[in-house]
């Protein structure tokens, strides 16, 4: 009896989160709008970078990680912007806020769906990146996955919070990157550094400072978001 109540509450909470993630996935499977625009945009960013840098002068392994993360960042911003805008357009957000759902569940649901869309997109971009930049990523794939995972999570924690905020603004398209980019500079620096070290063949243990910085960022911003999401999603 004693342990029953919290478990039931927990299950209910997880069900709420799952419902939101499920809703996002079904919408996406129907329209494929978000995913295709993110993917093509990331591809375009990489191609434009290839035209703007002279690969015969610059070493691909030095410039590559930066280009890769810029592409992820830009595509991720598009994804974040679209994801809350879709909710706003059809009054879906209104419905979600009226529904007896915990606001933090809403945040986690959005976080998980944003995070997974971005991850899927990133892993589809990786082979293209590998071919275009002529960098062999296969031997370093496992540490690279860790790095991409940690960096993308950091981007999504704060990005989900800010996109739920900027969805209510008139100039939301431009305000999201303006608010988001200065705040995630630590994540960007850390991810790019770690990626270039991984590509250079160094083990993860040689970059514990970066790894702990990025993981700390993830944890702290998830905690902060839980504490203040109620104030953002207030009607």
Q: Which residues bind another protein (CB under 8 A)?
A: 158, 161, 165, 168-171, 175, 178-179, 181-183, 185-186, 189-190, 193, 209-210, 213, 216-217, 220-221, 224, 228, 231-232, 234
Min dist CB 124 to another protein, Å, is 28
Min dist CB 65 to another protein, Å, is 13
Which CB sits closer to another protein, 10 or 178?
178
Which CB sits closer to another protein, 34 or 165?
165
* C-alpha span between 208 and 114 (Å, rounded): 27
Min dist CB 165 to another protein, Å, is 5
Which CB sits closer to another protein, 38 or 159?
159
Min dist CB 184 to another protein, Å, is 9
Which CB sits closer to another protein, 43 or 165?
165
């Amino acid at each position: 009896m004693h342990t029953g109540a919290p478990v039931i509450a927990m299950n209910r909470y997880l069900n709420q989160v799952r419902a939101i993630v499920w809703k996002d996935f079904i919408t996406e499977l129907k329209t494929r709008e978000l995913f295709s625009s993110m993917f093509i945009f990331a591809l375009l960013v990489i191609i434009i970078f290839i035209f703007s840098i002279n690969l015969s002068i610059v070493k691909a392994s030095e410039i590559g990680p930066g280009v890769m993360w810029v592409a992820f960042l830009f595509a991720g911003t598009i994804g974040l912007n679209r994801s809350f805008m879709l909710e706003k357009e059809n009054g879906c957000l209104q419905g979600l806020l009226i529904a007896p759902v915990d606001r933090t569940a809403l945040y986690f649901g959005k976080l998980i769906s944003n995070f997974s869309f971005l991850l899927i997109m990133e892993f589809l971009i990786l082979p293209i990146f590998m071919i275009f930049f002529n960098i062999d990523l296969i031997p370093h794939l496992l540490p690279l996955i860790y790095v991409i995972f940690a960096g993308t999570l950091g981007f999504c924690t704060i990005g989900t919070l800010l996109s739920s905020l900027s969805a209510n603004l008139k100039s939301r398209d431009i305000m999201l990157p303006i608010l988001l980019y200065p705040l995630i500079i630590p994540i960007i620096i850390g991810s790019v550094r770690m990626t270039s070290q991984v590509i250079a063949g160094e083990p993860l243990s040689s970059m514990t400072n970066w790894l702990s910085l990025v993981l700390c960022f993830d944890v702290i911003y998830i905690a902060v978001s839980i504490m203040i999401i109620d104030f953002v999603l207030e009607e």
